[in-house]
Amino acid sequence: MYPTTLTHLSRSNPFNAPLFSLQETVEPNPRVAADGPSRGLAADGPSRGLAADGPSRGLAADGPSRGLAAAAVAEGDSCEFGSRKYLLLCGFGGIISCGTTHAALVPLDLVKCRMQVDPDKYKSIGKGFSLTLKEDGARGLAKGWAPTFIGYSMQGLCKFGFYEMFKIFYSDMLGEENTYLWRTSLYLAASASAEFFADIALAPMEACKVRIQTCPGYANNLRQCAPKMFAEEGVWAFYKGVVPLWMRQIPYTMMKFACFERTVELLYKHVVPKPRAECTKGEQLIVTFTAGYIAGVFCAIVSHPADSVVSVLNKESGSTAVQVLKKLGPKGVWKGLVARIIMIGTLTALQWFIYDSVKVYFRLPRPPPPEMPESLKKKLGLTE
């Protein structure tokens, strides 16, 4: 009983991998597409891959496709899925979604950072806000807004733009059927690849932000902070936190994208009472926001220990990630978790909502959640 039940549960979890392999078979194709042989994952728009409500997640079989070749521009869309224009506008959507949301949450981020680096003084969120207001006034809550906005705008450009690019690239490598079967692994690989480069773009501004927020009297703004850090420690001052930043952001982004993609899929399948095609743009954006918040909670949990290390590391010159980790201990790395869950949950939901809204505004392709290709259904005996 128990082994059978556990096996059934493991197969039904949303992050499972296929428990079978496929043998390639050659079947005659009676259909000849008007615009040539299809290699993509067709959706209700011109789809070239796993299309999402946010960064595109649609998978449909439209012939013997093996890759993600762009189809003609669908009616109502401004460009082809996966085209240069599409990727550039996705990157622009990342700038808007990440830069604005992180800048808007600077006060909460400031208190969170101070709780991490000085837990004896800032013992709670409320205490952190009251002490900051008492010592620095209302303007003190906005410390670090400039490096936050610039840094996370650059990160958003790379995160969303490269995610779309890597998702298409990896899907072309896998082929249509394996792209569907291993879609969660594809989301994880594409997001990790994108975040690697995004963190290199973020690191200098993140270092300045933390130094401004957690070192009273060091610098009041970016114009003062960056030259001073460079004079004291050189270029290394801006990149010494990049490794712990990868430790924090890559797991965060992998969870952010994979959890969002699969949550959207499950919401449309089990919660939304009608097919996505029948939902209005507003209803689709509500699903996007809900899935984004759920993903954000998990993001905050998996990335919080590394976030604590980054905060302390950028405050203390001369320290290493290992030294900071030993200093904080098992309990210290979880300080400020509640504040970060509130911040990241709200942040992630707003980011997906804004990103998807940008795609709607620019009329970018937004294919529906993935469906099993017809060729795979035939191999599995799911069609007559």
252-307: pLDDT as tens digits: 899 999 999 999 999 999 999 888 889 999 999 999 999 999 999 988 888 888 87
Q: Which has more pLDDT, 157 or 48? A: 157
Q: Can you tell me the mean pLDDT for 142-164?
A: 94
333-374: pLDDT as tens digits: 888 888 888 878 888 999 999 999 999 999 999 888 888 888
Average pLDDT value for the chain: 80
Q: Can you tell me the mean pLDDT for 87-115?
A: 91
Give yes or no for a contact between 59 and 370, defined as CB atoms under 8 angstroms apart: yes
Q: Which has more pLDDT, 43 or 124? A: 124
Per mean pLDDT, which range of 3-7, 93-97, 150-154, 201-205 is the poorest?
3-7
The SS3 call for residue 257 is helix
pTM above 0.75, yes or no: no
Q: Which has more pLDDT, 324 or 150? A: 150
Residue in the block written with tokens 């294919």? 367
Q: What is the pLDDT of residue 306?
A: 81
Name all domains of the chain by residue range, CATH numbers in brackets: 77-239 (1.50.40.10), 242-364 (no CATH)
Structure tokens at 149: 């906005």
Confidence of residue 384 (pLDDT cuts 50, 70, 90): low
Q: Can you tell me the mean pLDDT for 19-42?
A: 44
